[in-house]
Structure 1
Amino acid sequence: MSLLSIVLPAYNEEQNIANTAKVLGELLEQHGIDYELVFISDGSKDGTFERIKEESARNPRVRGAEFSRNFGKEAGIFAGLELTTGDAVIVMDCDLQHPPEVIPQMWEKWQQGAEIVEGIKADRGKESLGYKLSAGLFYKIMSKLIKMD
């Protein structure tokens, strides 16, 4: 059976760790997906890493690491990718801003042979115009680089 790794960079997410681990764990188990959750505390000032350790003690599929200071989300993602042991990886926000309910669909596409499965927010919500434009440009460039429509 293939293993799905989910990388979750976290900065001051103490209040979200337990719920995120619970929601993702229940969803993945419900769909019969073998998984590991890799949380990275990016120099959090609250009890984020302590919550990660608590979840890890409860569930051996939960792992984590901690940065000594805040290096930024991208560094957290790269560290998480280094720690994964899965056959496929999903990177998502720790506060579940990215909808977990699409994970089974993404997993299915990967199992059908897709090398890359990308999710893009349909509604960017209350983000600034500049942020929306830069995100749109990023996705356009990435689509060209990986030759995707």
Structure 2
Amino acid sequence: IGPGSWNWVRITIVITSFVALFIVVTVPEHFLEEHLWQHIVVVHIPKIFLWTFGTLFAVHILLEFIDINTWIASNMFIILAIALLVGIIPESGPHLIFVTLFASGTIPFSILLASSIVQDGHGMIPMLADSKRGFLFVKAVNIIVGAIVGIIGLLVGF
């Protein structure tokens, strides 16, 4: 089944399958039912799917029906500011907007890099729960570094 050659996709699927089989065979039934199924599959996967689908759909609509490319091309510093502000959100879904815009050639790498610097994904949620001050400090540092990198990148032309 599939291509005759082994590439990274096939190897990844085989390794993931063995890891999943190992987990199912070795962990207690409680872990499978409560943690994997009730928590990850029922709670998180629908949210991740909706964020991803919604973001990709919104970008598609913007690129298909609105001449956003012209506006973005003439307002790169505003797009950089938006990318930095979106990076404050402690989830990775909104970052897909900038990944998709970069992949379509709409924004330069410097804006994607600045957005990536500010975006921490779900990694900052525990810190937000533990210390709002620490969260804001880390985000402020990320925004400053992201802004510096983004501005220099835009001025240099990458």
Pair in the same fold by TM > 0.5: no
Q: Tell me which of the two structures has the higher relative contact order, counting C-alpha pairs closer than 8 angstroms and 6 or more residues apart.
A: 1
TM-score under structure 1 normalisation?
0.28
For the pair shown, the structure with the greater C-alpha radius of gyration is 2
TM-score under structure 2 normalisation?
0.27
Structure having the larger proportion of residues in strand: 1
